[in-house]
Amino acid sequence: MIAVTGAASGIGAAVASALRTAGHRVIGVDLRDAEVCADLSTSDGRRAAIGGVLDRAPELDGLVLCAGVGPHVPDPMQIIEVNYRGAVEVLDGLFPALRGAAVAVSSSASTMVRWADNPISRGTEAAALADAGEFAGHLAYSWSKNAVTVAVRQRVAEWGAAGVRLNTVAPGAVDTPLLQAGLASRYGDAIRSYQPPIARHGTPEEVAALIVYLLGPHAGYIHGAQFAIDGGSDALMRPTEF
C-alpha cells in the first residue's frame, strides 16, 4: 500500500496512476476526489490525513508527497503551510508505519535560496513575508521547497537506520493545472520567457516515472538525494554547483 498526497491532480495523479498500473494499491490524499480528503494547510487537516491513511494501512510500502500550491496563490503563508508543513508533518507522522521508501516533490525553486538565508530556518517567515511586497508568493514558494529538501536531507541518518529510504525530486516547469494557473497569473510572462535546454515543459508522467523508480527495488542505494527533472535548467543556471 502506497500513500500519495496531491493524488487528485497533476503529478500526484500521474504517480497514483503509474503505481496502480504497476499493481500497487494506492491511498490518495487530497482536498477532494481522494480516499482520504483532508486539508494539509492546517494542523488539524494534517492530523486527519495521517490518521486517515493509518486507518486504511497500519503499514505502508511507500509514501509520495505531491500536494502543493504554486507561487500564484493569494496568501503566501498558505504556500508554506501546504508545501512545507503539509509535507514534513505527513512525512514524520507516517514514518513509523513506513517499510519501504518515500519521495517528496520539491522543486527547482529549492535551490534559489540558501538554508542559512531561508526565514523558515529561523521561524521568521511570517514577518519576512509581511515585508516582501509583490514577490511574496515567489519567495514563499522557494523557501517552502528549500525547507522540504533540507528536511529530507536532515532525516537521512534516522531513516537510513530504520531501513526506509527518502529522496526528493526537483521538477522544473511541468505541464499541470498548477503551471497553467501560474501562466495565467502575474508570473506568467516570467515563466513563458524562460526556455530550458530541452525546450518544452515536462509532463506529469515523466516525473511520475522517476518517482516510481525511486520507490522501487532498483533504487535500493539511493537515499537522501535530490533529482533535478528540469530539462537541463539546473545545469544551465548553476554549472559549477552540484
- Residue 196 or 240: which CB sits closer to ligand NAD? 196
Mark whether 141 is an active-site residue. yes
Q: Residue 221 Cβ, how far from ligand NAD at the closest point, in Å?
A: 25
Q: Under a CB-based contact definition with an 8 Å cutoff, are residues 128 and 158 in contact?
A: no
Comparing CB distances to ligand NAD, the nearer of 110 and 129 is 110
Q: How far is the CB of 173 from ligand NAD (least distance, A)?
A: 5
Size of the site for ligand NAD (CB under 6 A): 26
Distances from the Cα of 134 to the Cα of 30, 113, 191, 206, angstroms = 29, 18, 16, 32
Q: Which is closer to ligand NAD, CB of 9 or CB of 146? A: 9
Whose CA is closest to 5, among 80, 71, 74, 86? 86
Query: Does the protein bind ligand NAD through residue 146 (CB under 6 A)?
Result: no
Gyration radius (Cα) of the chain, Å: 17
C-alpha cell at 52: 486517515
- Can residue 31 be called a binding residue for ligand NAD (CB under 6 A)? yes
- Non-local (6+) Cβ contacts of 172 within 8 A are 108, 196, 201, 202, 228, 229, 230, 231, 233, 234
One of 84, 141, 187, 221 is an active-site residue; which one? Answer: 141
The smaller minimum CB distance to ligand NAD, of residues 1 and 174, is found at 174
Q: CA angle at residue 66 from 54 to 31, to 5 degrees?
A: 65
Contact call for residue 9 and ligand NAD (CB under 6 A): yes
28 sits near ligand NAD (criterion: CB under 6 A)? no
Site for ligand NAD in 88-107 (CB under 6 A): 105, 107
Positions marked catalytic: 141
